[in-house]
């Protein structure tokens, strides 16, 4: 992971937010290559969703009426239990604090809390399972846990509920009547606009509304680079269906969403489904399956597919006192639709694609030796730069011929001109940022107007007429 974070910074994918001031925890900035790749990713998702005839787009505002979050259940339920260390003031989420204890520490705690029962040798699974059982009762377990920061034991406060929504104020007065929240998910903007979109687009159920946008959560423990941040982007689609057809649509969207990741080059073995156990479902969900990616630090959710039933629309009806029922022309009946949600993190998926693309492999040097090349095998549709253009040497008209190719391609694709250093080094620089094609103008170009095109992953080269490059790249990148 460290190597990827370091490459991301060095090559301009991701920087720490406000780095010159020491950074702001849980916030990241996308550099020149990062923003290109993130935009490509969002564009692929947007095309996938809204180029369909049954999905419309939306861009709702981040700040919404505060009652939205009461209706959605976020004011009441969007909380994490949290403790502070009285000694060093470090703050922890209780579940993470207990989860991350080593097996040895878990065994020590079990020994202390259940004297006589854990003295001999036990299997790791037994210790983990027993600890899991007792960790539900945080008040009992916490006095036996040492603070990971200062090492003191018995210094934790009682667990308190901590709401993850960021609060701010509209207008000039900072009192409770002016309080609003930064949205913790984009979904609610879709629910409150359900009938607006339906009426404006004349869609009939089943149909969906898709949205990409920022979401904010005051996560207690931000960690693992872009995985858990306080500001992030979501790509969410709510698909409105008739109750009774929801299970079928749930399966349909699960399949579609997995295919999307696979078609953009994700390694199949690094993706899996995780179904939420019934007792751990979010307050709105009837069923929930996560697509998980195997990051270097373990499996982590990148997208959730949820059956949200009619919970959200019914709650908004109740709180706003405005009807959100759909009128079905065929049956001449009114009903509140069920919702199948696909909720992907743009930032988290970006990180998964970056991690999945990172490879170190042996490659031949120009002198006949072998060297390690770092290559990002990013899908060409996601790659920030599509083609790099090199004159083999800086004379004999090669730079001019390369510039002419650049002028021809630049209106269509993001290309990069590079004339500095040996061509082998230029290839390596492009490999490291995932550029799928490198075009080299050499002495033969002046004779027959052909250039070499080198493909990033296979490193194979072919000769192509420079006049055919537009067509060549259009085919490869479409």
Binding residues for ligand GAP, rule: CB under 6 A, are: 185, 187, 217, 219, 228-229, 232, 234, 236, 301-304, 341, 343-345, 347-348
CB of 190 to ligand GAP, least distance (A): 9
CB nearer to ligand GAP: pick between 74 and 373: 74
CB of 200 to ligand GAP, least distance (A): 23
CB of 289 to ligand GAP, least distance (A): 11
- C-alpha 388/C-alpha 386 separation (Å) is 7
CB of 76 to ligand GAP, least distance (A): 16
Between vectors from CA 193 to CA 235 and to CA 38, what angle results, nearest 5°? Answer: 15
CB of 267 to ligand GAP, least distance (A): 18
CB of 217 to ligand GAP, least distance (A): 5
Show contacts of 146-153: CB within 8 Å, 24+ apart.
146/105, 147/85, 147/87, 147/88, 147/90, 148/90, 148/92, 148/97, 148/100, 149/85, 149/88, 149/90, 150/85, 150/87, 150/88, 150/90, 152/85, 152/87, 152/88
CB nearer to ligand GAP: pick between 61 and 102: 61
Q: Which class for 242: exposed (0-12), middle (13-18), buried (19 or more C-beta within 10 A)?
A: middle
CB nearer to ligand GAP: pick between 337 and 345: 345
Pick the closest to residue 81 from 126, 139, 2 (CA basis).
139
CB nearer to ligand GAP: pick between 304 and 436: 304
CB of 233 to ligand GAP, least distance (A): 8
Distances (CA, A) of 390 to 315, 413, 434, 435, 442: 60, 16, 16, 13, 9
Instruction: Mark out the alpha helices in 27-159 (DSSP H runs).
Output: 32-50, 66-71, 74-77, 94-99, 103-113, 124-135, 138-141
CB nearer to ligand GAP: pick between 189 and 434: 189
CB nearer to ligand GAP: pick between 236 and 431: 236
- Here the tokens at position 340 are 């199948």
Nearest residue to ligand GAP by CB is: 345
The residues, any chain, with a CB within 8 Å of residue 3's CB and separated by 6 or more, are 358
CB nearer to ligand GAP: pick between 87 and 314: 314
């Amino acid at each position: 992971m460290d190597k990827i974070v370091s490459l991301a910074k060095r090559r301009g994918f991701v920087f720490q937010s406000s780095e010159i001031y020491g950074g702001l925890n849980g916030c990241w900035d996308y550099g020149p290559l990062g923003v290109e790749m993130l935009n490509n990713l969002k564009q692929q998702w947007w095309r996938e969703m809204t180029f369909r005839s049954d999905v419309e787009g939306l861009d709702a505002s981040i700040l919404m009426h505060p009652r939205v979050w009461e209706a959605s259940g976020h004011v009441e339920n969007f909380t994490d239990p949290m403790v502070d260390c009285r000694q060093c003031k470090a703050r922890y989420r209780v579940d993470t604090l207990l989860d991350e204890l080593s097996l040895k520490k878990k065994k020590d705690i079990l020994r202390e809390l259940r004297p006589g029962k854990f003295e001999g040798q036990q299997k790791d699974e037994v210790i983990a399972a027993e600890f899991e059982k007792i960790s539900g009762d945080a008040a009992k377990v916490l006095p036996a846990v040492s603070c990971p920061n200062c090492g003191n034991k018995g210094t934790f406060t009682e667990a308190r509920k901590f709401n993850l929504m960021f609060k701010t104020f509209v207008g000039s007065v900072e009192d409770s009547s002016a309080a609003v929240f930064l949205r913790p998910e984009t979904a609610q903007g879709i629910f409150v606009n359900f009938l607006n979109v339906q009426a404006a687009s004349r869609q009939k159920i089943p149909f969906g509304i898709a949205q990409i946008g920022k979401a904010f959560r005051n996560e207690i423990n931000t960690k693992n680079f872009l995985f858990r941040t306080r500001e992030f982007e979501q790509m969410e689609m709510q698909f409105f269906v008739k109750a009774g057809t929801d299970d079928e649509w749930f399966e349909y969207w699960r399949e579609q969403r997995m295919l999307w990741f696979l078609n953009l080059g994700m390694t199949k073995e690094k993706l899996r489904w995780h179904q939420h156990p019934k007792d751990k479902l979010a307050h709105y969900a009837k069923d929930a399956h996560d697509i998980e990616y195997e990051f270097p630090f373990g499996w982590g959710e990148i997208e959730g597919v949820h059956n949200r039933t009619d919970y959200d629309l019914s709650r908004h009806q109740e709180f706003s006192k405005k009807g959100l029922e759909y009128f079905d022309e065929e049956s001449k009946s009114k009903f509140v639709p069920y919702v199948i949600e696909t909720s992907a993190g743009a930032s988290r998926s970006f990180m998964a694609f970056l991690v999945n693309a990172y490879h170190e492999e042996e490659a031949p040097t120009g002198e006949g030796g072998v060297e390690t090349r770092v290559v990002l095998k990013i899908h060409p549709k996601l790659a920030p730069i599509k083609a790099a253009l090199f004159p083999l040497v800086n004379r004999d008209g090669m730079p001019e011929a390369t510039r002419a190719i650049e002028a021809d391609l630049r209106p269509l694709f993001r290309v990069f001109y590079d004339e500095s250093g040996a061509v082998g080094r230029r290839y390596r620089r492009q490999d490291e940022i995932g550029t799928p094609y490198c075009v080299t103008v050499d002495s033969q170009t002046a004779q027959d107007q052909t250039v070499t095109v080198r493909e990033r992953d296979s490193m194979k080269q072919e000769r192509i007429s420079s006049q055919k490059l537009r067509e060549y790249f259009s085919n490869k990148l479409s």
